[in-house]
Amino acid sequence: GSFAGGFVLQRFRLVRVFVSIQVLLAVLLVVRPFSGPWGMFGLTLLVCVVLGLLGAILPVVARAVPAAMRRRLATTLTTALLAGAALAPVVTVALADVVGGWPTALALWALPVGVAIFAWFGRRIDDEGLGSFGGKLPLGNRLSWFLTLYMGSQSGIAFIVMIWLAPLLVTAGNTVEYSAGLVSLAIGAQLIGVFVPNVVPATRLGVAGGVMACVSVVSIALLFFTSTPAVHFAAAIALGTAQGATLAIAYAMMAIASRTISAAGLSSMLHGFGLTIAGIAPLLVGFAGSLPSASGPGLSTLVVVATCAALTAIFGVKAGVSIAGISQNQGNDSRPQAE
């Protein structure tokens, strides 16, 4: 789905694509819970493809609005993404209790999609130039690869936190409730980090991303190798803040880079290749955890996280050099140029 974003925007207008994708998503969300086990599996895969396409197109919206609104819109998009991820499990469980079952509770998530469809109907956005050469991924552009590898590395840490952190904390001797609470606190604290790009100069975004990745490593180390609840809570907040910041910085740098690279092609590349790379990190944690080790799973997990953080810092700094040059040499009104 992510790889198809640039191809689709090359052929259709942004608003039409955006509304059509959301209509398809709403239909799938309603049908999926009532389609039986195999239908649920197949339609879930299709939902993931649609979400991948939607995720690749969303950042392009920020390039289509007036220049003065781009940074604020990027912050809003990231905030909504992280808030939805934090609230969805809690809201779905509560809905299941109210409506009397999981299928109906899951299907009700089509309602906010319906609100989004209504909000977009009749909208006119100046998307000239966004998809005119967007079907081609900017594979020959060094900055595109730096940003893609930055996105993949920082998202790898996020995937490890979401998939592995709670089970590993339980393995380390904490209760299930306590471990889940720390992870929930970390996810919620991501909303703090989304505002970091607003206070960091564009010329320092790459360095800031690297610093935030290092904060993630220290925070996870504190969670694994200390036993004081106060330290755990502080570490969870620091971890969430750092994770929110690294993601927001990725989108901020992408918005600046799209002044010289196709916004649609760049977004497809970041989400397609970047998130594929990120998916390797949890697999490495599982493999490392299965190896005999006297130090337990904490150290092996920390090694994988530290590697992801180091790559995030390296590629963040490399991308930041180019981003600083673009920011200094071009005004906020610059349109994308073909490579």
Q: With 60 as the cut, is the pLDDT of residue 14 above it?
A: yes
- pLDDT value of position 334: 38
Q: Give the pLDDT confidence score for residue 135 in this predicted structure.
A: 53
User: Which whole number is the average pLDDT over 148-162?
Assistant: 89
Give pLDDT, residue 333. Answer: 39
As a whole number, mean pLDDT of residues 28-49 equals 86
Question: Could you give the CA distance from residue 151 to residue 332 in angstroms, rounded to a whole number?
Answer: 23
DSSP code string of 211-261: HHHHHHHHHHHHHHH---HHHHHHHHHHHHHHHHHHHHHHHHHHHHHTTTS
**Other residues' Cβ atoms within 10 Å of the Cβ of residue 100:** 10
Name, in order, each residue with C-beta under 8 angstroms of 10's C-beta and a sequence gap of 6 or more. Answer: 131, 132, 133, 134, 135, 264
In this prediction, residue 204 carries a pLDDT of 83
Residue 121 three-state SS: coil
Read off the pLDDT of residues 54-65 as tens digits, 9 standing for 90 and up.
777 776 666 666
Q: Tell me how far apart the alpha carbons of residues 172 and 179 are, in angstroms, rounded to a whole number.
A: 10
Q: What is the mean pLDDT of residues 1-13?
A: 66
The answer to whether 232 and 184 have CB atoms below 8 angstroms apart is no
Q: Is residue 27 within a helix (H) or strand (E), and if so which, with residue range?
A: helix 14-31
Question: At residue 92, does pLDDT exceed 60?
Answer: yes
Burial class (CB in 10 A: 0-12, 13-18, 19+), 259: buried
* HSE-up of residue 181 (Cα within 13 Å, Cβ side): 9
Q: Are 80 and 190 in contact (CB under 8 A)?
A: no
Residue type, 61: V
Q: Residue 141 has what pLDDT? A: 87
What digits encode the pLDDT tens for the residues 272-316? 888 888 888 888 888 876 655 545 556 778 888 888 889 998 998
Which of 84-98, 162-176, 205-219 holds the top average pLDDT? 205-219
Output the average pLDDT for the chain: 78
Which residue would you say has higher pLDDT here, 220 or 296?
220
pTM: 0.75
Higher pLDDT, 46 or 296: 46
Indicate if the pLDDT at residue 36 is higher than 80.
Answer: yes
The whole-angstrom separation of Cα 209 and Cα 315 is 9
Q: Which structure tokens are listed for 52?
A: 């991948």
- Report residue 133's pLDDT band, with 50, 70 and 90 as the boundaries: very low
pLDDT given for residue 125 in this prediction: 58
The span from the CA of 186 to the CA of 196, in Å, is 16
Model confidence at 74, pLDDT cuts 50, 70, 90, reads low
3-class DSSP assignment, residue 198:
helix
Q: Compute and round to an integer the Cα radius of gyration of the chain.
A: 20
Q: pLDDT category, 132, cuts 50, 70, 90? A: very low
Residue 146 confidence class, pLDDT cut points 50, 70, 90: very high
